[in-house]
Structure 1
Amino acid sequence: MRRGVAIGAACALLLAGCRIAVPDAPPSTLAVPQAWRAQAPLVGPAGPVEGQWWRAFRDPALDALVARALASNADVRTAQSRLQEYQARIRVAASAQQPSVTVGITPQRARAIGPLGTPIETTSVQGNVQAAYELDPFGRLQNTTRAAEFDYAAQQAAADATALSVAASTASGYLNLRGLDAQLALARQTLASRQRSLDLARRQFEVGYSSRLELAQAEAEYRTTAGVVPQLERSITQQENALALLLGASPGPIARGADLGALNAPAIQPGLPSELLRRRPDIAQAENAIAAADASLASARDQMLPSLRLTASAGGYAHNLPDLLGSGTGLWSVGASILAPVFDAGRLRAQAEISASLRDRAVFAYEAVVRNAFAETENALTAIERLRQQLDEAEGRRVATAEALRIAHNRYRNGYSSYLEELDAQRNSFSAETNVLQLRASWLQAHVDLYRALGGGWAPGPRVQP
């Protein structure tokens, strides 16, 4: 017996050199920049991104919306539910490394023809307990388990990335909503001003001081402004419904907090580009996907190696159940098996090649995710910097057009100029005011984009050791 086991072990060691040869991972083409091209000017003291970064805008209504979205959003809940599946996959993979025990009982009633040609009826009951355990000297089962663990870590990072995306979309949608609210308030104020101008033009026409052309121009400008109001109201309704869907609620109104001008512009420290590799959950997801693919490849590579399996069983045989539990005949067996594939028409080698291709694709996907992260951060930094410059210029234009409108209105009212001059000043002023509101909303949204690009204060959990 011992000699047979020794021979089997020797054969296993000889076959250990039969691993399927697989190509190495492709060389990396990723180049990490030394610094960011754009440096956004920061207002106030800058600090690292915190987990609840949306609180930096200092709007309790926004805080409540993001908290509700993270609790009720369908994508977030789906991602969290998926984690249960991958936890179960780890248990399934790990179970192959543990002994298996089965219990069976086989009652039987039979009739046969005896030696003298007479029928004989027999009753038998057989029960047994079987145990089996597969040794893993080459680590194939362990690699399968590790692949499942890395898959779970990737899904955990994916769930975190989903939560970050939902939080950022909620914050960006809310800022856009407050921008539309500000534009609607401006449109209504402007409409009231247009009404006063129309009334003035009508009075002057009625007393013969101005022509019908000026009255028609005033009415046309009033109608143009009046048409902006329902357009903005429609956009606001659509934005509210979009936010409601993010919150996991039915379409409806959204609670407001601070006005657009009162929202705080947070200061953000982007850090170095190399630090971004540990800040973003999508990068962690891609990194764990590579590790899972490597472990799967190692398991597929070892399929050509022999598997060593130990089995044992114990049971009893009797003609009825009481005898089986008492004085039945005892049965037992102990054995071992060494199985190694000899010919499979290339199936195992093809499976290893598939695993190698999946590993290569995981590497390419990781590099693409990292490059996209660099691009998103650069774009967000540039947007903050350039939008701030645009906003400063737009503020100056707003002041200038407001002064031009005041002068034009006084000149027209006192009869020094035609209504066309005031009309042009009204259009420029309304356009400048609207442009300021749009740029401020976009500037604040660029901060959200930067928070998202920097990982939103995400911190990796315990890492699976490679």
Structure 2
Amino acid sequence: MALCAAALPLLFACMGPRPQPPAGAALTPPPAWRVDPGPSAPLERDWWRRYGDPVLAQLVERALASNADLGIAAARVAEARAQQRLARAQLLPTLDATATGGRSRSLNALGRESISNSFEPQFQAAYEVDLFGRLADQSTAARAGTQASEAAHDAAVLSVAAATARAYLTLRALDAQLAVVRQTLAAREDALRLARRRADAGYTSQLEFAQARAEYESTAQAVPQAELAVARQENALLLLIGESPSGEIARGAALSVLRPPPIPDGLPADLLRRRPDIAQAEFQLAASDANLSAARKAFLPRLHLSGSAGLLYASGVASPVRIWSLGGSILAPLFEGGRIEAGAQVATAQRDQAAFAYRRTALTAFREVNDNLAALRQLEAQVLHLGQQRDALAAALRHATNRYRAGYSPYLEQLDAQRGLLSAELSLIQAQADWLNASVALYQAMGGGWSRTD
């Protein structure tokens, strides 16, 4: 005991000063977003309902109920909670029941045989006194690990909801593109029949008929290509909602009538408490900091107490004898070959990694919000101009078709107008899908209505 007391100042000296977090990991949220969000509305947990498509809402809720990734995340939360209970149990004493017995044969001083029996039932208790808080630090780290797992589960929920919404909107875009290609194919088929009649009647050359046929075949091959894209997107959506590929995906509102919901409100500083992935990184940082504290306290002595009480039944003893013992031990590490110091250095490096990971997660979140705010504004303008271009090209195609049928212009004039309209319609559909998907990404970047509760 005296030796441990004398060595205590030396052991504290071995700990050294507590390592501070790296200065480069400090984080200061920006005062505002780079793009003015304009009018905004509160962000709700069921944000996907704001799109006004019941099928979209149903698919997201099916995914949240059956997605395999969410099942994995929930199992990880259960594992972390069990680890927390395990760490908390280290703070409590242990109590065991034991029973030992034996039978022995020996010779006494006169050379006579002696047989004795013994039986000892006992209760044994052991307890490590948490003198310097090492076990409490380990329990704190386990609790923070549980909170990190719970935040990771919430982040997975948000990710699955956003992925399902994007997959459905992409599917509706592919549906719209397939419909446009089929409409164009029908128009090319009419043009091919007209070109054949005109060529057979001698009004035009076979070159014009060959051009019409080539354009028809070019559009015809695009139909199975678009159908394949739709089938693959349906399979991807079925995987997200946790169903077999043999299932069917219902369709709701047309892509052209869907509009992004109002922009969620909130400042960059609010984002630190509204994104589950940021909360996860913060809890992981707290866990690594507690582990560092526990690793440094491994330099200090440990006090163990033990005791037992029971009865002794033995041959030749008329009644059982009460037996008991009390004891204690102090373990003070004097030479461990550098293992304790290396463990503390490992814990310090892990804490620093967690600090930089938290900073990176937060900066990534700020960037995602800024990116999607800018995307919403620019894509809205793009959709507007593409719609006007589509209307102008549709009018040009009507004039070109009338002129061609009346014999005032060659087929190439109508063909150019058809090509331009097809390209504009496909571009408009893609821009509408990008616009809607950017709003989904913004809702995800803003935390999807999640809020941290300590």
Whether TM-score is above 0.5 comes out as yes
What letter corresponds to residue 387 of structure 1 in structure 2? L
What letter corresponds to residue 70 of structure 1 in structure 2? L
Task: Tell me the equivalent position of 1:437.
Answer: 429
Q: Normalised by the size of structure 2, how large is the TM-score?
A: 0.95
Q: Normalised by the size of structure 1, how large is the TM-score?
A: 0.92
**Does the 8 Å CA contact 1:41/1:385 hold for their aligned counterparts?**
no
1:68-114 Cα distance to aligned partner (Å, 9 max, x none): 11111111100001111111111111111111101100021222233
Single out whichever of 153-162 and 268-277 deviates more from structure 2.
268-277
Task: Tell me the equivalent position of 1:380.
Answer: 372
User: Which residue, out of 362, 375, 381, partners 1:370?
Assistant: 362
CA displacement at 1:222 relative to structure 2: 1.2
Unaligned runs of 5+ in 2: none
Whole-angstrom CA distance in 2 between matches of 1:246 and 1:418: 50
**Does the 8 Å CA contact 1:279/1:457 hold for their aligned counterparts?**
yes
The question of 1:34 aligning with 2:31 is answered yes
Q: Aligned residues: percent identity?
A: 48
What letter corresponds to residue 25 of structure 1 in structure 2? P
CA displacement at 1:19 relative to structure 2: 5.8
1:236-261 Cα distance to aligned partner (Å, 9 max, x none): 11111111111122113312111112
The question of 1:174 aligning with 2:174 is answered no
CA RMSD of aligned residues (A): 2.0
Whole-angstrom CA distance in 2 between matches of 1:312 and 1:8: 24
1:38-86 Cα distance to aligned partner (Å, 9 max, x none): 23566xxx31211011111111111111111111111110000111111
Whole-angstrom CA distance in 1 between matches of 2:279 and 2:82: 21
Task: Tell me the equivalent position of 1:316.
Answer: 311
Whole-angstrom CA distance in 2 between matches of 1:127 and 1:115: 31
Q: Aligned with 1:278: secondary structure?
A: coil
CA displacement at 1:284 relative to structure 2: 0.4
1:337-389 Cα distance to aligned partner (Å, 9 max, x none): 22211111111111011100000000011111111111111111111111111
CA displacement at 1:450 relative to structure 2: 0.4
User: Which residue, out of 444, 452, 459, partners 2:444?
Assistant: 452
Whole-angstrom CA distance in 1 between matches of 2:7 and 2:250: 70
User: Which residue, out of 404, 419, 427, partners 2:419?
Assistant: 427
Q: Aligned with 1:376: secondary structure?
A: helix
The question of 1:287 aligning with 2:282 is answered yes
In the TM superposition, what are the counterparts of 1:211-360 in structure 2 within 5 Å? 211-252=205-246, 253-319=248-314, 327-360=319-352
Task: Tell me the equivalent position of 1:125.
Answer: 119
CA displacement at 1:9 relative to structure 2: 9.5
CA displacement at 1:30 relative to structure 2: 3.1
Whole-angstrom CA distance in 1 between matches of 2:36 and 2:194: 51
1:143-197 Cα distance to aligned partner (Å, 9 max, x none): 0100000011111111111111111111000000000001111111111111111
1:207-227 Cα distance to aligned partner (Å, 9 max, x none): 211111111111111111111
CA displacement at 1:442 relative to structure 2: 0.9
Whole-angstrom CA distance in 2 between matches of 1:243 and 1:155: 26
Unaligned runs of 5+ in 1: none
**Does the 8 Å CA contact 1:297/1:352 hold for their aligned counterparts?**
yes
CA displacement at 1:20 relative to structure 2: 1.2
CA displacement at 1:433 relative to structure 2: 1.0
Task: Tell me the equivalent position of 2:44.
Answer: 50
Whole-angstrom CA distance in 2 between matches of 1:104 and 1:424: 94
Whole-angstrom CA distance in 2 between matches of 1:235 and 1:224: 17
1:251-285 Cα distance to aligned partner (Å, 9 max, x none): 13312111112223201134211111111111001
User: Which residue, out of 74, 78, 90, partners 2:72?
Assistant: 78
**Does the 8 Å CA contact 1:15/1:305 hold for their aligned counterparts?**
no
What letter corresponds to residue 360 of structure 1 in structure 2? D
What letter corresponds to residue 398 of structure 1 in structure 2? R
Task: Tell me the equivalent position of 1:148.
Answer: 142
In the TM superposition, what are the counterparts of 1:396-415 in structure 2 within 5 Å? 396-415=388-407
**Does the 8 Å CA contact 2:8/2:300 hold for their aligned counterparts?**
no
What letter corresponds to residue 211 of structure 2 in structure 1? Q
Task: Tell me the equivalent position of 1:88.
Answer: 82
What letter corresponds to residue 353 of structure 2 in structure 1? R
**Does the 8 Å CA contact 1:19/1:303 hold for their aligned counterparts?**
no
- Count matched residues: 451
The question of 1:23 aligning with 2:19 is answered yes
**Does the 8 Å CA contact 2:12/2:299 hold for their aligned counterparts?**
no
**Does the 8 Å CA contact 1:398/1:432 hold for their aligned counterparts?**
yes
**Does the 8 Å CA contact 2:141/2:288 hold for their aligned counterparts?**
yes
CA displacement at 1:460 relative to structure 2: 1.4
**Does the 8 Å CA contact 1:140/1:303 hold for their aligned counterparts?**
yes
